[in-house]
Amino acid sequence: MRFIYRLTFYLRGWKIEGDVPRDIKKYIIVVAPHTSNWDFLIGVAVRSIKKFKSNFLGKKELFRAPFGWIFRGLGGYPVDRQHKTNLVDQVIDLAKKNERFVIAITPEGTRKSVAKWKTGFYQIASGAEIPIVFCSLDYKKKLVFFNLPFYPTGDFVGDAPLMAKYFEGVQGKTRGITPLV
């Protein structure tokens, strides 16, 4: 599959810059903006091309028949967005219990336009004491860009301007980046 993904990226004019940290065993990949179903396919392709393993959170509806087995096989964890389930605490526990932990999260939480990012990714990183790797999907430049790890201070509002700089000028498939706060 890796060859097919690489060929598709080449033919479509997409590039990947940067990489995930190879010397860090636990981190969160924050992927933004999330504006299209194509974002998921690009993410799966990038993961294969760059040869790294990661899991992801997805709405529980994706994990139903007939395709649920595919999303589970790709490393997905279903999320019930209708009920409060202490998801942040559950993911923090997963991070602490596992020797290796890499999970991709889209902070908007949906493809729809939202007023601001959800903060769960930040709470997970702070609670598990792990860094965040920001990954932008820029459709205008046809570029997937991985930034160096960012270590949260525990003050989301204070860190927001620093985090927003990672995504300045990035254009998703259907819109630009959502404000962090």
Calpha distance 37→110 (Å, rounded): 10
Kind of pairing between the strands at 26-32 and 101-105: parallel
Calpha distance 92→64 (Å, rounded): 25
Considering the domain 2-165 in this protein, what is its CATH number?
A: 3.40.50
pLDDT on residue 140? 97
Q: For residue 85, give the amino acid letter.
A: T
Q: Which two tokens stand for residue 85?
A: 């389930």
Question: Is the Cβ–Cβ distance between 130 and 105 less than 8 Å?
Answer: no
pLDDT tens-digit readout, 83-92: 777 889 989 9
pLDDT tens-digit readout, 53-71: 999 988 889 889 998 999 9
Calpha distance 154→31 (Å, rounded): 20
Q: Which of 16-20, 38-42, 83-87, 171-175 has the highest mean pLDDT?
A: 16-20
**Nearest Cα residue to 33 out of 146, 149, 179, 136:** 136
Domain spans, the chain: 2-165
pLDDT on residue 150? 98
**Nearest Cα residue to 87 out of 73, 100, 105:** 105
